[in-house]
Chain A
Amino acid sequence: MKEIFKRHPRYAHAPEAFEGMPDNLWVRCPQCRELLYAKEQESTLRVCSKCKYHFPVSAHERIAMTVDEDSFREYGQGVRAADPLGFRSPSQNYSEKLTEYAQEAGTNEAFIYGTARIEGQDVVIGAVEFKFCGGSMGAAAGEKIARAMDLAVEKRYPLVIFAAGGGARMQEGVISLMQMAKTLAALDRLRDAGLPFFSVMVDPCLGGTTASYAMMGDVTIAEPGAYIGFAGKRVIEQTIRQKLPQNAARAEFLQEHGMVDLVVPRAELPATLGRLVRLFVSCNREERRPVGEPARV
């Protein structure tokens, strides 16, 4: 695992947690305040060795940490946002912002996807890139999510998505809202084809993301400590007029309330997904069932 970022040079982004630290040698854990040796962060998959806090990682890093070495082939890189509303205000010019987002994130949109292998098994895998406009679901991101679903149907592979972000992208208005419907329409075809969808929700996963495809996984997985829900912490606090306890609406809380199947630490995710793919695909008698026809029990 230590070599993972060297093997994927084009995915190697400098993690933001390193900023401001002398010589980039140390990184401070925001949860337990421990100083961690930066070089070790790669071998620990950016998980604090003391308190197990999961640092944010980029979409490309996530996929690289999860799939078999060099197996990821990216699709749909040409799909980009288009500023359909001509969103202008004195303080905000969306089309200029898009260029900034792309530079910050190192991706063309808030979602990437492609094919890969997990423990030798073919999957379609995608991940939300939080650094691109907070991982929000504009028309281009929604399209890419739907295409990941289409690709899974076409190839008859299971689907894995790392879901994150708050869903709504204000600058695309109701077009952004409608991506919830678009992704769920595409997901319905995947379901009809009898293919499993493993949704992995990572911090933060909210709003139009959870209220659409993310919560509709055949198996829903959460990363430890991830903030997952419909409303953000601040909005809930405004609604109930009190402070939220530290663990509220986090992955473990959601599991306790029956909203997610599994809470899986980053290091165990490849093995967990590998096992799930084996379990759900071995019962899949796809050869006898044309695409678009519902699975028979």
Chain B
Amino acid sequence: MVSLLEFETTLRPLESELEEARRVGGNGHVDSAQERLTDQLRRIYSDLTPWQKVQVARHRERPYTLDYLQWGFTDFVELHGDRSFAEDRAIIGGPALLNGRSVMVIGHQKGRDTRENISRNFGMPHPEGYRKAERLMRQAEHFGMPVVTMVDTPGANAGLSDEERGQAEAIASSIATMLALRVPTVAVVIGEGGSGGALAIAVADRILMLEHAVFTVASPEAAASILWRDAGKASEAANNMRITAQDLKYFGLVDDIIPEPVGGAHRDHAAAASSVASAINSCLQGLSELPIDELLAARYAKYRNIAFFSE
């Protein structure tokens, strides 16, 4: 059983019922207990508030980039290092096969436990991470491989050493490079799309979002402390900033929503990965048919024409 979030506590008795049915035996009992549990999950997850989605997106058992690589791709070879300073384990990348096609996969990577989280800095990249990402994007372009990115970070790391090594420049340069890549690009927001540190690898021809992922201009906690000097008002900020896949699709800022298994991607990594892989695959099929100059013109227009002002 996965660990329950605070708004999932009504599942606990249903889980106990299911366990009891399994212990006692009898297929009919198990099936109906399972059905009640699934119904309740479906009810809860069809009506999540933005703040609840933040918690789902941050769930410790949610699939990360490596899980999608394991279940949705084959032959992944991880490549390391930015060639100027260090290897950053908060962003991983390398070529892999998706439906028989070579693609360059680049994604934020969180850790599953404390030790791994320390080595991956909780998925918060240093400048080296973005420079590695940019290096791999250029390599993909050189070999004509489409670029697939997976976005899942609380944000870029914000230490003094990051300033010394040019965090802002690294992010800006990664965005600029990705916007100009002469290969098709697809980004999938799989968990937390946290601010500029997420956007650095998200400016693709198609931006997809998992059903319960979030994408924010600043974390709800940071936004609340900027707006109201009170990080405790994070849920209010989350509700106001339009951070859900559904809201962002409505505003046309993301292209498509990938449905998650009932009860969230963390309840079935394999099923989530298979949906993600097939969504990416169908995007790439469409994008690959376009002549490259048309693709670049469309990408330019996609970002240049974001409006939402008055005149």
Enumerate chain A interface residues (CB-CB to B < 8 A): 78-82, 84-85, 87-89, 91-92, 138-140, 142-143, 146, 167-182, 184-189, 206-208, 210-216, 229-231, 235-236, 239-240, 244, 248-249, 253-254, 257-259
Of A142, A172, A230, A248, which contacts B158 at CB under 8 A? A230
B306 proximity list for chain A (CB < 8 A): 139, 142, 175, 178-179, 181-182
Whether the Cβ atoms of A181 and B172 lie closer than 8 Å is no
Quick check: A230 and B168 within 8 Å, CB to CB?
A: yes
State how many angstroms separate the Cβ of A167 from the closest Cβ of chain B. Answer: 7
Across the interface, which residues of A come within 8 angstroms of B168, CB to CB? 206-207, 210-211, 214-215, 229-230
B241 A177 Cβ-Cβ under 8 A: no
Determine the distance from Cα of A214 to Cα of B216 in the docked complex, in whole angstroms: 21
A236 to B215 alpha-carbon distance, docked (Å): 22
A-B contact pairs, 14 of them (CB 8 A): A139-B308, A168-B218, A170-B241, A177-B196, A177-B217, A178-B306, A182-B304, A185-B179, A211-B175, A214-B168, A235-B222, A236-B160, A257-B163, A257-B165
Q: Contact partner of A169 among B167, B216, B217, B299, CB < 8 A? A: B217
The segment out of B112-120, B223-231, B270-278 that lies at the interface is B223-231
Shortest beta-carbon contacts, A-B, top 6: A231-B158, A210-B168, A140-B309, A230-B167, A84-B308, A139-B308
Chain B residue numbers with a CB within 8 Å of A167 are 196
Are B242 and A173 in contact (CB-based, < 8 A)?
Answer: yes
User: Of residues 159 to 201 in B, which have CB atoms within 8 Å of A's CB atoms?
Assistant: 159-160, 162-169, 171-173, 175-176, 179-180, 195-196, 199-200
0 or 1 for each of B290-311: is its CB under 8 Å from A? (1 = yes): 0000000001100110111111
Set of chain A residues within 8 Å of B215, measured between Cβ atoms:
174, 177
For A141, the closest partner residue in chain B by CB is B309
In this complex, how many residues of chain B approach chain A with their Cβ under 8 Å: the count is: 53
**Are B303 and A216 in contact, CB atoms less than 8 angstroms apart?**
no
Inter-chain CA distance A92–B224, complex, in Å, is 11
With both beta carbons as reference points, the residue of chain A lying nearest to B173 in the complex is identified as A216
User: How many angstroms between the C-alpha atoms of A289 and B310 in the bound complex?
Assistant: 34
Interface centre among A92, A177, A244, A253 (most CB of B within 10 A): A177
Q: Output the residue of B159, B176, B180, B236 with the most chain A CB within 10 A.
A: B176
Instruction: Confirm or deny: B153 has a beta carbon within 8 angstroms of a beta carbon on chain A.
Output: no
Also in contact, A239 and B240, with CB within 8 A (given A81-B310, A174-B215, A174-B248): no
B92 contacts A by Cβ under 8 Å = no
Kindly list chain B residues whose C-beta atoms are within 8 Å of the C-beta of A180.
172, 175, 196, 199
**Nearest CB in chain A to that of B300: its residue:** A185
Q: Does the CB pair B163–A229 fall under 8 Å?
A: yes
